[in-house]
Amino acid sequence: MFPAFFHSLRALGVPVSLTEWLTLLEALSKGLHRDSLDDFYRLARSLLVKDVAHFDAFDQAFAYCFRDAALPDDLATKDKILEWLKDPLSPLQLSQEALARMEALTLDELLRELEDRLRKQEGPHHGGHHWVGTGGTSPFGAKGSHVSGISFDPDGGGGRAVLQAFARKYRNLRNDLTLDVRQIGVALKRLRDLRDVGAEEWLDLEATIDKTCKNAGEIDLIFGRERENQVRVLLVMDSGGSMEPFRELSERLFSAAHGLNHFKDFRAFYFHNCVYENLYTNLDTDEFVTTAEVIRECGKTYRLIVVGDAAMAPYELLIANGTLERRRTCTVKGIDWLRLLADAFPKRAWMNPLQESSWGYYDTVATVGGLFPMFPLTLEGLELGVRGLL
C-alpha cells in the first residue's frame, strides 16, 4: 500500500473504502497505469473519487505525496495518523504497547516506521512502500519510485499530473467552501412546490408528443394549466458585530434569493445578534416591521431561512432586556422570540457561517440549534437545509 497517500486522502475527507483501495492496487498490478505518473493520477482518481466535490482534496493529497507539496494542515498532526492506526480496518494491527511507542515519535519518524512495518509484515498485503529521495515525507521522489515491483518512470510525463494537482483547478467544485451567487441560486432553485394554475392555455409539449405518437403521427395538441412555484420564502439575516466578517457572504445569499424570480413571494429582514420585537427592512434608516406582524402574516405559509452565527453573550439570549440594540428595551427574552418563530414556521433552517467545528465553543449556538435545524453556510450545508425545507 501507499500509506501516506491513503492516509492523506482519508484525512482530507475523501471517503476511500478498502474495497476501492484494493481495486486500485489490482489495477496497478495489471499495469493499467502504464508506468506513467500521469496515467496513475487519472487511474487513481477514477477509482477512488466518487464525487467531483472531492477532486480538489484528491489533488492536494496527490501533490503532497508525490511531489513534496506543502503539507496540508489537516495532515500535519500525528493524532490523525494514530487514529487511523487504531481503526480495526487499518492494514496494521498494532498492540497497545506499539501504539504507545509510536506516540513518542515525530511525524517523519512515524511515517518511516509505518513504511518499515508494512514492508516487513508477514503474509500477503497488496504492496509495500518505498521512499525515494524525499527525506521520508513523500512516497514518490524526484528520482522515481516503485511499489512492490510496480515502477513509475520519472520521465514518463508525470510532470503534467503534478502540475494539474498543484494548480487545484477543481477548488471551486468543493462542497465545503463558502458560496458564490451562482452556487446559491442553483441550490435555492431546488426549493419549489409546483402546482397547476390559471386556464388551460399552456401547451404541454411532452403530452402532445406522446399523444401524436399514439395517433400514428397525426398531431393532437394537448393543453394544460401552467405550473407555478408556490413556495414563499422569508430570509432573516443577522447583521453587524460578529457577523461583519461574513457580510459579503450574506449579501451573496440575499442577491441570489432576490434575483431568482423563482418563488411565489420573497421577503427579507435583518436583526442584530438575536431576534427581538422588531425585524428591520433597512438598517441605515432604522425602518422595521414588528416581529409579531411578520409571524402573523407569514407564519405557517412561508419557509423561514435564518442566517446568523448564533454566537452572542448568553444574556442577550436568555435575559429580558438583554438586547444591545441601540439602547432599546425588550421585555421578552430573545430565546422566547426564537421559540415563537420556531412554532410559527414548521419549515425552517438556520444557516451558520461559522465553521462547524467551532460551534461547540458557544453555548448559545447549541441553544439556538435546539430550536432550529442548523446547517453550515457551505454548498453542502445549503443543499441539506433546502432539502429540509421541502
Domain count, the chain: 3
Residues 218 and 238 reside in one and the same domain: no
Do 363 and 254 fall into the same domain?
yes
Using CB atoms within 10 A of its CB, is residue 276 exposed (0-12), middle (13-18) or buried (19+)? buried
The single-letter DSSP state of residue 69 is: P
Indicate whether 253 belongs to any domain: yes
Do 15 and 30 fall within a single domain?
A: yes
pLDDT for the residue numbered 92: 62
Q: How long is the chain?
A: 390
Last residue of a domain, one of 205, 227, 249: 227
What pLDDT band is residue 98 in, cutting at 50, 70 and 90? confident
Residues 16 and 163 in one domain: yes
User: What pLDDT does 131 receive?
Assistant: 30
Q: Is the pLDDT at 83 greater than 80, yes or no?
A: no
User: In whole angstroms, what is the distance from residue 104 CA to residue 287 CA?
Assistant: 61
Burial code of 191-200, b = ≥16 C-beta within 10 A, e = fewer? bbeeeeeeee
- Name the nearest CA neighbour of 198 among 162, 224, 237, 216: 224
262 shares a domain with 114: no
Beta-bridge partners for 150: 147
Q: What does 54-66 look like in DSSP terms, one character per residue? A: GHHHHHHHHHHHH
289 three-state secondary structure: strand
In one-letter notation, the amino acid at residue 174 is: R
pLDDT for 120 equals 59
Tell which wins on pLDDT, 115 or 27. 27
C-alpha cell at 3: 500509506
Distance CA 121, CA 117 (A): 6
The model's pLDDT over 259-303, given as tens digits with 9 standing for 90+, comes to 777 788 889 899 988 999 999 988 778 889 999 999 999 988 999
How many CB atoms neighbour CB 303 within 10 A? 23
180 lies in some domain:
no
188 domain-assigned: no
Q: Are 17 and 61 in the same domain?
A: yes
Picking from 196, 247, 244, 246, the residue whose alpha carbon sits closest to that of residue 223 is 196
Specify the DSSP element, H or E, that contains 195.
strand 194-203
Domain membership flag for residue 340 = yes
CATH assignment of the domain containing 288: 3.40.50
98 Cβ contact partners less than 8 Å away, ≥ 6 residues apart? none
Co-location of 269 and 379 in the same domain: yes
In a shared domain, residues 141 and 273: no
- Choice between 385 and 331, residue whose per-residue pLDDT is larger: 385
On whether both 30 and 156 belong to a single domain, the answer is: yes
Secondary structure of residue 121 in the 3-state scheme: coil
**Cβ contacts of residue 229 below 8 Å, gap of 6+?**
192, 193, 194, 262, 263, 264
Cell, residue 182: 451562482
Query: Is the same domain home to 165 and 253?
Result: no
In the listed set 209, 227, 245, which residue is the last one of a domain according to the structure?
227
Over the stretch 190-227, which tens digit does the pLDDT of each residue have? 776 545 555 556 677 888 888 888 888 888 888 776 65
Query: Considering 182, 209, 227, which residue would you say is the last residue of a domain?
Result: 227
Tell me the per-residue pLDDT of 137-192, one tens digit each, with 9 for 90 and over. Answer: 333 333 334 444 444 544 444 445 545 554 555 554 444 444 566 767 777 777 76
Closest CA to 140 of 126, 158, 116: 158
User: Would you say residue 181 lies in a domain?
Assistant: no
Helix (H, G, I), strand (E, B) or coil at 36: coil
* 39 lies in some domain: yes
Tell me, yes or no, whether 217 lies in a domain: yes
Considering the domain architecture, whether residues 214 and 234 belong to the same structural domain is answered as: no
**Of all helices (H) and strands (E), which one includes residue 303?**
strand 302-307
Say if 240 falls within a structural domain.
yes
Give residue 351's pLDDT: 92
User: How many helices (H) and strands (E) in the chain?
Assistant: 16, 11
Cβ atoms of 377 and 353 closer than 8 Å:
yes
Helices (H), the chain: 3-11, 18-29, 37-48, 55-67, 78-86, 96-103, 107-120, 158-167, 181-188, 205-214, 247-258, 291-298, 314-318, 334-344, 363-369, 379-389
How many angstroms separate the Cα of 161 from the Cα of each of 10, 106, 165, 167? 20, 30, 6, 10
What is the domain range of residue 208? 196-227
Among residues 251, 246, 340, the alpha carbon closest in space to that of 292 is found at 340
Verify that 302 and 367 share a domain, yes or no. Answer: yes
pLDDT digit string, tens, across residues 38-64: 888 889 999 998 877 788 888 888 887
Contacts of 77 (CB under 8 A, 6+ apart): 107
